[in-house]
Amino acid sequence: MGARYLFALDLIAPSAPPKKDSQRDVDLVRAANLALRRQHADIEDHFLFLVYGACDEETVAHSVRAYGFPNCEVRFVGEDEDLTPTADDSIALSGEYGEEIGYALEQWVDKAHPGALPLGSILAPDHSALAAYREIEWWWIGCEGTDSERPWPFDPDQLGALLPATHTSRAGTWLEILALGLALEDADLEEQPYDRFMVVAKVAALCEWLHGFEAASGNSYNHFEPEEAVARLAMSPLFIGYEAGKVLPDSERSLPEEAETDEEALRSAVLAVTAQARSGVLSALGVFGGDGLLFWTLHASIWPRYDCRLSEAMENVLGLSSVDYGEIAAPWQFVYDGWHESAEGDY
């Protein structure tokens, strides 16, 4: 797909890099080899190594880079005084460990990768091919759309304005996620006008669905604007009228020509089309690997957790370790059912 993975890993100075031939050392060698092979295939994954408490930064940085990861950045946080030897020769960390790692990671994501979506795991279609990545317990994982030359039937730059503010900068990433889920690599949209129009309808449905999650989660309201979607995605009035005519009652049907001038009819028709297209969007979002992982991406996009390892962050939310079920009941039901009454917009 036209997207790359982003990985962040924390290392503690006394074991940075890991001891040669240790399991972690072997895992990093294999992951670096995979990253280089993907780079050869024009897929540029990016890596951030966050080293805590190093006293000889130059030597440690050289050792970490020696693994050969492409697009690799090494950042140093904390001081060596923050590391306290214990009776069993392990290392006790200061209480600020997670905060300092998290701050450096947040800076990296915000400045270098603003289009990144947080992930709970490697996307499902890549599980087997990227097994070497999955062997490592990363601090954080994300994916990011690259400048794809995919011939979308609309201007991709227009999509950001249709998405909720949470995802405005992630428009390109969502397009690549949808393309992967819809298997657009194998589609010839130029030769199949109906399929082309349906892809546009699914993009509009994705926008509406993401607005719906914002409302269900309580972060915002459902601000999806059907008329704006028609304009920005160059939706075909003929297609809208045809598809809406299949599902709207006779009293609400309008000819395409009338819909262009009748705002109320147009809104009803577009919402009927996006409602019909929603099942296809939800099926495509199966690339996340399940409702829990999809929910995590949506929740962490609004309320990112950089100050603890991914496994702990997910347990805090999905395992209800640090949140009350009442806080996530509506958005969880939204993802599980595909929609929820709390997501309704003021159409």
pLDDT at 230 over 80: yes
- Considering its fold, how many domains does the chain have in total? 2
Q: How far apart are CA 229 and CA 58, in angstroms?
A: 52
- State the average pLDDT over residues 131-155: 92
Q: Are residues 131 and 26 in the same domain?
A: yes
Range of the domain at 264: 156-343
267 in any annotated domain: yes
> Is residue 160 domain-shared with residue 125, that is, in the same domain?
no
* The two three-digit tokens of residue 317, written as one number: 């939310």
Q: 93 vs 328, which has greater pLDDT?
A: 328
What confidence score (pLDDT) does residue 87 get?
Answer: 45
Q: Say if residue 127 is in the same domain as residue 188.
A: no
Q: Check whether residue 106 and residue 172 sit in a common domain.
A: no
Residue-level pLDDT at 88: 43
Q: pLDDT tens digits, residue range 99-111?
A: 999 999 999 999 9
**Domain final residue, candidates 117, 145, 173:** 145
Domain termination residue (choose one: 145, 165, 196): 145
Kindly state the tokens that stand for 107: 């800076």
What is the per-residue pLDDT across 44-88, written as a single tens digit (0 to 9) for each?
Answer: 999 999 999 888 899 999 999 999 999 999 999 987 665 555 444
